[in-house]
Copies of this chain bind each other. A is one copy, B any other.
């Protein structure tokens, strides 16, 4: 997992290089590698193709990254870094009306998975999970757990202020995610059906919220 940063040695020691920590070749290689790995998987991707796609010589790829595995790790790390964080502040309005808060959280989750690159990345996490156990672990710790945490926290607050009656916030959170992900995410991951329209997304979120309200609403 140690990544060689050939140029950083120079940029660190050079006088004016501090201003330009660009490393354009390195970035181009990483960008191309991300594309190629997401499209073909680890085995299916060849260093030759990465070089061609990045416009760099094959040797340069190896000068920047000591192995295919290191390149893969670096590319994955970059994707993680660029991933948005699902985090929603629960303001007064959201705490007052669970339907508002849940809609907001639901839309955030849906928007998180909306970009095709997110789905492709999840597919790669599943595909390469055996070869790189870090992938599922990081996916869980950096991707899933925070979103779950935010959702559970919100549901507990809602429960404590009496807006809803939620005995098991963790279960409720998973249920809510299930209502959203089954139609909007997993079908795309498996690769059947067309990507959902925004109207469809909205509908699914609304219906999921209605489901939560019906099940946990104390007004029933």
Chain A positions near chain B (C-beta within 8 angstroms): 39-41, 43-44, 122-123, 125-127, 129-130, 133, 136-137, 139-140, 144, 171, 174-175, 177-183, 186, 189-193, 203-204, 207-208, 210-211, 214-215, 220
What's the number of copies of this chain in the assembled complex? 2
Give A220 to B211 CA distance when docked, in angstroms: 13
Give A129 to B192 CA distance when docked, in angstroms: 10
* Cβ 8 A contact of A182, one of B39, B175, B220: B175
The DSSP consensus for interface residues of chain A is: helix
Residues of B close to A210: CB separation below 8 A: 215
Check if B127 sits within 8 Å of A190, measured CB to CB: no
* Cβ 8 A contact of A127, one of B126, B180, B204: B126
Q: Shortest beta-carbon distance, A159 to chain B, in Å?
A: 16
Residues of B close to A175: CB separation below 8 A: 179, 182, 207-208, 211
Residues of B close to A127: CB separation below 8 A: 41, 123, 126-127
Q: List 30 A-B contacts (CB under 8 A).
A: A39-B130, A41-B127, A43-B43, A122-B190, A129-B191, A130-B191, A133-B191, A136-B190, A136-B191, A136-B192, A137-B192, A139-B190, A140-B192, A140-B193, A144-B192, A171-B183, A171-B203, A174-B182, A175-B207, A175-B211, A177-B182, A178-B180, A178-B181, A178-B183, A181-B186, A182-B182, A186-B186, A211-B211, A214-B214, A220-B220
* Cβ 8 A contact of A178, one of B40, B179, B190, B191: B179
CB-based nearest B residue for A137:
B192
Q: Considering the complex of A and B, which 3 residue pairs feature the smallest CB-CB distances, nearest first? A: A178-B182, A178-B178, A127-B127
Residues of B close to A208: CB separation below 8 A: 175
Check if A129 sits within 8 Å of B190, measured CB to CB: yes
